[in-house]
A = this chain, B = another copy of it.
């Protein structure tokens, strides 16, 4: 068993439980018990349940970020870079169903909406490597001439939808299908 600090124990326990039971189905007491800490201890590391939820998101987001970043091949064509990105993302989501469930919960809540609003309208753009692909794609005329945000929805919408349905067992995405569905995402946004 890996040695962990209390903060990590709490984060892992919360992530697992929230993925399984949702935000509202997971009480602080459940988290404390699973993390084998006292109920009050959680509040040393997270100011409130809300802060915990937001903190967990940041951790998951960071991990996802690293995955996508590492696997993105910077010098290839827009198409190649998009396909890499899509494949990596979809694989990550079905290989890490707990993170996926968490992200789903998060984006489908007031927390997530606010987060995205800031991402879109705020100055900082940490997702450079993702946005860059779309900016490049549009400016080089390889993607449809639509607002970036729409192109994101067109390509990440189905990826999230498919990851969800795969995780629910509605179908199975295997090594054959994954490239095909990502190719379809590309078809949706590429200039004809």
Which A residues form the contact surface with B (CB < 8 A)? 22-24, 104-105, 108-110, 113, 116-117, 120, 144, 146-147, 149-150, 153-162, 164-165, 168, 170-171, 177, 180-181, 184-185, 187-190, 192
Contact = CB atoms under 8 A, between A and B. Distances in A.
A162 to B, nearest CB: 5
B144 A154 contact: no
Given A104-B108, A188-B187, A146 B181 contact: yes
Contacts of A190: 187
A162 B157 contact: yes
B146 A153 contact: no
A171 B188 contact: no
Nearest to A184: B188
A158 B188 CA distance: 10
Given A158-B158, A161-B156, A189-B184, A22 B150 contact: no
A171 B150 CA distance: 8
Contacts of A22: 109-110
Nearest to A109: B22
Contacts of A164: 153
Number of copies: 4
**Ordered nearest first, which 5 A-B pairs have the shortest CB separation?**
A157-B161, A188-B188, A157-B158, A153-B161, A24-B24
A168 B113 contact: yes
Nearest to A157: B161
A155 B67 CA distance: 27
A180 B149 contact: no
Contacts of A187: 187-188, 190, 192
A177 B161 contact: no
A125 B164 CA distance: 21
A184 B154 contact: yes
